[in-house]
Amino acid sequence: MHPRLTNRCSRIEPEPPPLLYAWLARGTWFGRIYQRYLGDLAGNQPQGARLLDVGTGPGVLMGQINRKRPDLSLVGLDKSYGMISQARRVSKGLGGPLMAWVVGRAEALPFPSAFFDLVLATMSLHHWDHPVAAVVEIMRVLKPQGRAWIYELNRDASLRDIKNYAREEKLPSMLVYLVFNFVRWHSALKEVDFAQVFHRAGVPEWQLQQVHHIFWRAEIQIDAFSGRKRLQ
């Protein structure tokens, strides 16, 4: 399993200050990634659905979802007060009562059970202090027939995957390769990382899809009839 998930105390990953992270998140690189996630999300939510973004950071993706789907009720959660402050500033004037920002931890979500239609986590699982507890919490807050999408960088993406991503984004292949290989060693996961976390969290079935060439997307879905938590 990824060392961040098995022994978090063995090393601390440096994270940029909230102001810098907000600037990076509004930049071209993150913007391209968020557009891909937005394409996945925007057409797949029922009217008026409740969406929770765990590890929302400065809330840039949430702002884009709000512009695309203003009918959705959005809640962004992050453990950093600084990140939530940036999210509130970035989203000023958006969403109104349909957008809320909460300081909290993935391992102890401050929401009732069966509350959200969708729980989203984009490249945040590898930062969670206790990912097993966080997955259990995510399943708890999902409504019957709700689902969770967890995106992470694919540590095992091939050179062909990287080149295909670069070609679609009209970016230099070498630049994408260098950035990917810099990031993958501390912020990317393997299939076995998901397998171990989901097994320990008691998820009986799961599917992991490679999406957008260099990312994983795991989907957790709640069965409305049997009450079982499953991945489809």
Q: Give the mean pLDDT per block of 10 residues along the chain (232 residues).
A: 42 49 53 86 89 93 91 95 89 82 96 97 93 97 93 96 94 92 89 95 88 96 57 45
Q: pLDDT at position 95, please?
A: 76
Measured CA distances, 210 to 154, 157, 169, 190, 216 (Å): 8, 9, 17, 11, 5
Q: pLDDT at position 11, please?
A: 36
Phi, psi for 92 (deg, rounded to 5): -55, 130
Do residues 189 and 153 make contact, with C-beta atoms less than 8 angstroms apart? yes
Phi, psi for 9 (deg, rounded to 5): -70, -10
Query: Distance between CA atoms of 193 and 106, rounded to whole angstroms?
Result: 17
Q: pLDDT at position 101, please?
A: 96
DSSP run (H or E) holding 144: strand 142-154
The fourth-level CATH superfamily of domain 3-230 is: Vaccinia Virus protein VP39 (3.40.50.150)
Relative orientation angle of helices 81-90 and 18-25, to the nearest 10 degrees = 40
4-8's contacts with Cβ under 8 Å and 24+ in sequence apart are 4/126, 4/127, 4/186, 5/126, 5/131, 5/189, 5/193, 5/196, 5/197, 8/129
Q: Per-domain residue ranges for the chain?
A: 3-230
